[in-house]
């Protein structure tokens, strides 16, 4: 059953995340992670870029279970359902319409309830990083930020339902950040480039 609330129904947030966070990248440069509560707070050019990035990820067919690409509206409804973080190069450059997102966008993640109603304090997250920018540990940086911000939003536990066992980079991040492998489903995913269905790992972690 899909979640119907945009946050924990029976647990109040610890606060509202309003300020961006400056982070140091692997090469010593800086990035900024912005908290976003509504798609209306994102420039149209960035929304178009993120929409294309997600569709490209779907078409690669090896990290998300989604089969059909999104329209821009459907992407906005899916990604911006609840809370989103967006990471940009530089020290608080802002989200400007005329930005060259191919070079300045580093990555993004969403947070939303994994279950409805009485279990909505358990969250799920989805991540996309810029494939043009390698070697900066962007996924790890976003993962650490997720672990900081999700509890503030009122969540107490995180579940990643479908980490494909072929996605070694993703598993390495979650293993290193202290997530537990709480489940495994064999032959769960039909991925591009594989003759047989692939197993998926289910990850979980306490947030408080």
pLDDT in 10s for each residue of the chain, 208 residues: 556 678 998 888 999 999 999 999 999 999 999 999 999 999 999 999 999 999 999 999 999 999 999 999 999 999 999 999 999 999 999 999 999 999 999 999 999 999 999 999 999 999 999 999 988 999 999 999 999 999 999 999 999 999 999 999 999 999 999 999 999 999 999 999 999 999 999 999 999 9
The answer to whether residues 126 and 15 touch, using CB atoms and an 8 Å cutoff, is: no
Q: Domain residues for 101?
A: 21-155
Query: From the CB of residue 54, how many other CB atoms can be counted at a distance below 10 Å?
Result: 20
Cα separation, 103 vs 95, whole angstroms: 13
How many structural domains are present in the chain?
A: 1
Inside any domain, residue 129: yes
Q: Compute the half-sphere exposure of residue 107: CA atoms within 13 Å on the CB side of its CA.
A: 22
46 in a structural domain: yes
Supply the pTM of this predicted model. 0.95
CATH of residue 141: 3.40.630.30
């Amino acid at each position: 059953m899909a979640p119907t609330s945009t946050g924990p129904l029976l647990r109040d947030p610890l606060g509202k995340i309003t300020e961006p966070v400056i982070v140091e990248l692997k090469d010593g440069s800086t990035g900024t992670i912005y908290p976003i509560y509504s798609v209306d707070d994102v420039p149209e050019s960035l929304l178009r870029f993120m929409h294309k990035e997600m569709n490209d990820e779907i078409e690669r067919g090896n990290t998300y279970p989604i089969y059909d690409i999104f329209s821009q509206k459907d992407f906005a409804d899916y990604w911006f359902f609840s809370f989103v973080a967006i990471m940009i190069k530089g020290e608080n450059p802002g989200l400007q319409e005329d930005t060259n997102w191919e070079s300045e966008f580093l990555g993004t993640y969403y947070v939303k309830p994994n279950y409805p109603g009485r279990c909505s304090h358990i969250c799920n997250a989805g991540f996309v990083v810029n494939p043009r920018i390698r070697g900066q540990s962007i996924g790890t940086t976003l993962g650490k930020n997720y672990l900081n911000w999700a509890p503030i939003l009122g969540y107490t536990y995180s579940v990643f339902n479908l980490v494909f066992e072929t996605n070694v980079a993703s598993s390495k991040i979650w293993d290193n950040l202290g997530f537990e492998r709480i489940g495994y489903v064999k032959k769960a995913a039909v991925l591009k480039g594989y003759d047989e269905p692939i197993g998926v790992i289910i990850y979980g972690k306490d947030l408080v």
